[in-house]
Chain A
Amino acid sequence: MTRTLGVVASAIALAGLPLALTSYQLGLLTKMLIFAVFAMSLNLILGYAGLPSLGHAAYFGMGAYTVGLLALRATDNFWLDFGAGVLAAGITAALFGLLALRTQGSYLLMITLALAQVVWGIAFGWRGFTGGDDGLPGIRRPAAGLPVSLDDGMRFYYFALLVFTAVTVVLLVLIRSPFGRALVGIRECERRMEVLGYDTWRYKYVAFVIAGVLAGVAGNLFVYFNGFVSPAYLSILFSATALIMVILGGAGTLVGPALGSAVIIFLENVVSAHTERWPLVLGAIYVALVLFAPDGLVGLARRLAARAAPAPGRPA
């Protein structure tokens, strides 16, 4: 009951809030939604399947670059550009997954990071094609293929909200399906799953590709949002940002990463207004989280609440 109330309240808030916000604040909220999608996509493999990936920005950035390059040089048809971006992200995940999923644990962590860095290096080094470190500016929001133009901040926000909702629904369906439940089983005890008749590799691989596709969706949104793409979208910093959002909000919960996204984007905004030391703050958040709240804010809240309310039968 409380959950349905929460969902309804959030829906109303997200739908109605834009009317009360300045355009700057609206932009921030839009960014929160985009990164929520990014973080939730990572959550599928990290939180549910238990695969530690430190290179998720690879798929985010591939989507973004594909859309950016096509929009600048080929067509401004939304469906073609967006579709290609999603496809590029998916293909990259399909290829990288074949390599990365041959390993586990720390090896998997290293390899996902290394693979993402290779893509970053290509974007950085291939100045002629990708613009190198300067990136590609001047990417316009799609003109053809959509009933309304997305140039307006308010319209783009609702578009992002629509995508966010769609992705949330997709993940909800996946999590409740036998496939999603098997992912959790793999996380909890892969060996047991193997002898129960599950082809665990197949589950991990499909989850990996889906996560890559959804990350690409987020990347697509982000490049339209900023009108700009650069190697930063493929960087370790971006992968790390998604990771902290998942852990902060609560890995393995459906909307935890969305909350994590809101908190981190908000913090980044506040910190960056006063200092350039955001990476330092982010690193400190990492350390603090691992030391004090490894199960995220939700877990921390639960533990504090349990301590505040003593168990029945014991003196308060």
Chain B
Amino acid sequence: MIALAVDRLAHQFGGLRALDDVSLQVAAGERLVILGPNGAGKTTLFNLVTGLLRPTAGQIRLFEQDVTALAPYRRARLGLGRTFQITTLFPRLTVLDNVLLAVQGADGARFTLHRPLASFPRIYTQAESLLATWGLTDRRDVPAQRLSYGEQRQVELLLALAGSPRVLLLDEPTAGLSPAETALVAAMVRRFPRDLTLLLIEHDMDVALELAERVVVLHQGRVLAEGDRDQIRRDARVAEIYLGEPDAEDAAR
């Protein structure tokens, strides 16, 4: 079953074509990494898929359902989750409050006005359990903006997971992290449920090729190459766009 399909997707703003005629398909449970130099259109693709941007052409399908015209929150409720390249937490709220909001977002009680949140123990239980599973319980009362950058990236992942998504878009989860922090985040991603479909934007080729089976390379808003790890490693065009070097893997380091 195809979890996510993008059909001839395009986005144009003024004279700028951020994305042009991009098509790709991701099977359920598959791990796909999107590579490409800066400005290739990777984040634009994510913004279009999550609904934060409207495409100027093309279609987006989530589990065979056409979501092209749906608002972001509707797509989220259909099982689409996302992390952002720039950490998008609730800065002044504690880690626990951050996760509570994320869990609440996926819960039917999200619009209740007349009862306190405390009267929904299931939301608290789920939030605490999430924190425990991913080892952040001792940081639960710290305001998000006071966390270390690596911890913030972890919470960013946690918020995306809280809604039990079926498809998860990770936008450069290891950007700006030290090698140790990168390993931590990579380990976290490897522990994700196996049936979770994953789309990953990564700059770090090592991490990317370690976590994903299939690769799509974007360049100037178009799909340049597609294939498995080895195919992409050997692709001369990919090597060229990264630094003009014959070996793509060395070039991207």
Interface code A173-215, partner B: CB below 8 Å = 1, 0 otherwise?
Answer: 1101111111011001101111111111011001000000000
CB A270 to nearest CB in B, in angstroms, measures 35
CB neighbours (8 Å) of B77 from chain A are 197
| Residues of chain B contacted by A188 (CB below 8 angstroms) | 90-93
Number of interface residues of A (CB under 8 A): 26
Interface size on B, residues (CB 8 A): 39
Most buried by A among B71, B101, B106: B101
A177 touching B71 in the complex, CB below 8 Å, given contacts A188-B93, A191-B88, A192-B159:
no
Contact with A along B202-225 (1 / 0, CB 8 A): 000000000000000000000000
Q: How many Å from the CB of A138 to the closest CB on chain B?
A: 39
The residue on B at minimum CB distance from A175 is B116
* Bound complex: CA A287 to CA B190 (Å): 53
Q: B113, B115, B163: which contacts A196 (Cβ < 8 A)?
A: B163
Known: A188-B90, A188-B92. A198 touches B105 (CB 8 A): yes
Interface residues of B in 50-94 (CB under 8 A from A): 50, 52, 71-73, 76-77, 80-82, 84, 88-93
Are B92 and A199 touching (Cβ within 8 A)? no
A178-B102 in contact (CB<8A):
no
Closest A residue to B120 by CB, please name it.
Answer: A178
**In the assembled complex, how far is the CB of residue A99 from the closest CB belonging to chain B, in whole angstroms?**
19
Q: Are A178 and B163 in contact (CB under 8 A)?
A: no
Residue of B nearest to A200 (CB): B73
In the bound complex, CA of A181 to CA of B115 (Å): 12
Q: Which residues of B contact A (CB under 8 A)?
A: 50, 52, 71-73, 76-77, 80-82, 84, 88-93, 97, 100-102, 104-107, 109-118, 120, 159, 162-163
List of B residues within 8 angstroms of A176 by Cβ: 116-118
In the assembled complex, the CB of A13 is this many whole angstroms from the nearest CB of chain B, namely 27
Closest 4 CB pairs of A and B: A196-B105, A176-B116, A197-B76, A188-B90
The closest CB in chain A to the CB of B123 belongs to A178
B19–chain A nearest beta-carbon distance, Å: 19
**Residue pair A177, B113 in contact (C-beta under 8 Å):** yes
B-side contacts of A202, CB under 8 Å: 111
Enumerate chain A residues within 8 angstroms of B72, measured Cβ to Cβ.
194-195
CA of A191 to CA of B111, assembled, Å: 18
Whole-angstrom distance between the Cβ of B172 and the nearest chain A Cβ:
16
User: Are B89 and A191 within 8 A (Cβ)?
Assistant: no
> Is there an interface contact between B110 and A198, defined as CB atoms closer than 8 Å?
yes
Contact A189 B117 (CB under 8 A): no
The B-contacting residues of A in range 4-39, CB under 8 angstroms, are: none
Instruction: List residues of chain A with CB within 8 A of the CB of B109.
Output: 178
What's the least CB distance linking B177 to chain A, in Å?
20
Contact of B102 among A179, A196, A203, A206 (CB under 8 A): A196
Q: How far is the CB of A72 from chain B (nearest CB, A)?
A: 35
A184 to B98 CA separation, bound complex (whole angstroms): 11
Are B89 and A178 in contact, with the CB atoms below 8 A? Answer: no
Q: Contact partner of A195 among B76, B100, B110, B112, CB < 8 A?
A: B76
Given contacts A191-B52, A194-B73, A197-B105, contact A178 B114 (CB under 8 A): no
Q: Which residues of A contact B116 (CB under 8 A)?
A: 173, 176-177
Known: A176-B118, A197-B77, A199-B71. A192 touches B89 (CB 8 A): yes
